[in-house]
Amino acid sequence: MPSFKNCTLLQIRGITCAAVIFSVPVAALAADPVLFESKNVSVTASDVRADSLRLPPEMRPLVLSRPETVTQIASNLYIRRALAERAVAEGLAKDPDVEAALRIARDKVLSDAMLEKIDKKHSPSAEALEALAREAYKVKPERFKLPEQVKVRHILISGKTPEARAQAEKVLADLKAGADFAKLAKEMSADPGSAQKGGDLDPFSKGRMVPDFESAAFALEKPGALSGVVETQFGYHIIQLQERISTGVRSFDEVKPELLLEARTKFTQDARVAEAEQYQREGKANKEAIDSFSAGFKKTQ
């Protein structure tokens, strides 16, 4: 059964709550085999499917395709159902608090199903979604601005000893004298990921590297410029600027998937809020009863 995860009418305002739909093969729906049973209690395939709705959608096929996992889920549900049957037999279902909890559980299942129906009713067309997405792209282009990046290469001398510092100074002097950066990086750099590429690092923006390394990299202005010896927790670096990549704006096609998702979510959320507000207008709080209820708890503090 399709469901929503942790979504009630009381949680709609200001919260994005997307429909979680679990596709079940037609063959699996044709029958409801018993997966775990005893003399008086049984658990069926539909019980396991319903329980799996609490999992993220992408995880369900992975979980339910493993017989050992299905066995464990069915076993857990069997134990819970056996305990529930015993509770009924011993009269616990007649306890006022238990009765209230059962009503709330029932309300959640049914309200989730109703919310799914509301979502389907207000499902927008592909054209409407794209129009909203394009409008969002035009209204706030700053959202899609790319930060400035630098592309550098570096040589790392590991360690924090005076000897390591002296070695880094020697490498820097050799580079200033005309030594080949890529060759020295392959021979001497302690960063295995970049050493075999001549010290090359992928382009990065601010906030991606350790502070001292980042500051030195962004301080370089012209391609080919060398930093001094830069100390970080990894050791001593010599950095060479290869390119400064100016800011730009991501294209609509790049951000289209996320904007379509935002547009669909807005359609869904607006419809749910409208439904919730209708019920709120029809309902009325009993202030006197609420005050009396709260006062009872104050006396026990």
Dump the DSSP string for 64-95. Answer: HT-HHHHHHHHHHHHHHHHHHHHHHHTTGGGS
The model's pLDDT over 133-171, given as tens digits with 9 standing for 90+, comes to 999 999 888 889 888 999 999 999 999 999 999 999 999
The model's pLDDT over 253-275, given as tens digits with 9 standing for 90+, comes to 989 999 999 999 888 899 999 99
pTM across the whole model = 0.52
The model's pLDDT over 85-129, given as tens digits with 9 standing for 90+, comes to 999 999 999 999 999 999 999 999 999 999 989 988 888 889 989
Closest by Cα among 5, 53, 48 to 28: 48
Q: Are 187 and 228 in contact (CB under 8 A)?
A: no
Backbone angles phi, psi at 254, to 5 degrees: -70, -40
Interior angle at CA 220, CA 161 and CA 182, nearest 5: 65
Angstrom distance (rounded) from CA 236 to CA 223: 21
